[in-house]
């Protein structure tokens, strides 16, 4: 790992918590890394809770964070829509009330100028998805908060919005712009919020493609954890490798301390 690393960007679900229960050792690891002087932010595709709610839930598990350190896909999307479609009426198809993170947007489910697709849930029924496709055919632009395929719960994996996007693009005969992970702008914006260049930041995630390899493509160093949605078969079949693989975020402080300026190879697997 390069000795220029000055910040850590954490995924939340599957890395720090699962179903809002702390993954063993996460709170202590986050605290140790903060005490070492590294900057930090928390980048999540969670679209069912606001930044404030996420910060509170993490604090309740013993992981002390501030709302300003949370970078949600909703927060990124609101910034994107305000910039690209100023003054537009927006229909948000999402599981959960995240209105507080959509500052500056005019919400209008009936007559939208833009459709925003958030996290999947019961709201993604036949009627709603059919309406999205029809609006696309009528020329209404669609923006996705993220294109994640799954997320981890205590009861197993759940499919997410990314499962629906290719079909909607085909049915609607138009491209859907993705803002959050795995799109590069999300990682770069999070690094900028830490006042760091992407090359100075480590991204820690449980999703090989959406978290880790996508972050590496954006110029960050990737660390894959073997918790959450991690599956050995996905890693084994990948044609690209993460920069580092560790059993859990609890091992991150040692990895950062040991490899800073060590000149070790870029790819390491802490299970070996």
Provide the pLDDT for residue 193. Answer: 87
Cα-only R_g, the chain:
18
In terms of pTM, does the model score above 0.85? Answer: no
Q: What is the mean pLDDT of the chain?
A: 92
Q: Using a pLDDT cut of 70, give the percent of the chain over it.
A: 94
pLDDT in tens, 141-189: 999 999 888 877 778 888 999 999 999 999 999 999 999 888 898 899 8
Q: What are phi and psi of 176, to 5 degrees?
A: -100, 125
Q: What is d(CA 99, CA 269) in angstroms, rounded to the nearest whole number?
A: 41
265, pLDDT greater than 90: no
Beta bridge partners of 89: 106
Q: Does residue 64 surpass a pLDDT of 90?
A: yes
- Predicted pLDDT of residue 1: 60
pLDDT > 90? residue 48? no
Identify any residues that bridge with 159 across adjacent strands, giving them in sequence order: 150
DSSP sequence for 25-54? THHHHHHHHHHTT-EEEEEE---SS-HHHH
Q: What is the pLDDT of residue 182?
A: 87
Q: What is the model's pLDDT at position 255?
A: 96
101-118 mean pLDDT:
96
User: What pLDDT shows up at residue 111?
Assistant: 97
Rounded mean pLDDT of 236-260? 94
Long-range interactions of 2-6: CB distance < 8 A, separation 24+: 2/199, 2/221, 3/260, 3/261, 4/199, 4/200, 5/38, 5/200, 5/201, 5/202, 5/221, 5/256, 5/260, 6/38, 6/39, 6/196, 6/200, 6/201
pLDDT tens per residue, range 76-90 = 899 899 989 999 999
> Would the pLDDT of 219 be above 90?
yes
Identify the band that residue 263 occupies on the pLDDT scale cut at 50, 70 and 90. Answer: very low
10-24, 25-39, 180-194, 216-230: range with lowest mean pLDDT: 180-194
């Amino acid at each position: 790992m390069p000795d220029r690393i000055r910040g850590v960007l954490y995924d939340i679900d599957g890395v720090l918590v699962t179903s809002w229960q702390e993954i063993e050792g996460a709170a202590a690891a986050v605290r140790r890394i903060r005490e070492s002087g590294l900057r930090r932010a928390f980048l999540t595709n969670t679209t069912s809770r606001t930044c404030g709610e996420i910060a509170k839930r993490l604090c309740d598990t013993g992981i002390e964070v501030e709302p300003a350190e949370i970078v949600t896909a909703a927060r990124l999307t609101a910034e994107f829509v305000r910039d690209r479609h100023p003054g537009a009426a927006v229909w948000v198809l999402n599981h959960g009330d995240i209105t507080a993170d959509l500052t500056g947007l005019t919400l209008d489910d009936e007559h939208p100028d833009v459709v925003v697709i958030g996290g999947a849930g019961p709201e993604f029924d036949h009627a709603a998805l059919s309406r999205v496709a029809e609006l696309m055919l009528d020329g209404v632009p669609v923006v996705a908060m993220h294109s994640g395929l799954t997320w981890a719960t205590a009861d197993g994996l759940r499919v997410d919005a990314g499962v629906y996007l290719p079909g909607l693009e085909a049915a609607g005969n138009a491209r859907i712009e993705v803002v959050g992970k795995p799109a590069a702008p999300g990682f770069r914006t999070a690094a900028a919020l830490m006042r760091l260049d992407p090359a100075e930041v480590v991204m820690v995630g449980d999703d090989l493609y959406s978290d880790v390899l996508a972050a590496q493509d954006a110029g960050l160093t990737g660390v894959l954890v073997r918790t959450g949605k991690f599956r050995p078969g996905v890693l084994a079949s990948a044609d690209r490798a993460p920069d580092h693989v560790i059993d859990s975020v609890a091992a991150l402080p040692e990895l950062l301390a040991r490899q800073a300026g060590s000149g070790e190879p870029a790819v390491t697997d802490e299970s070996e």
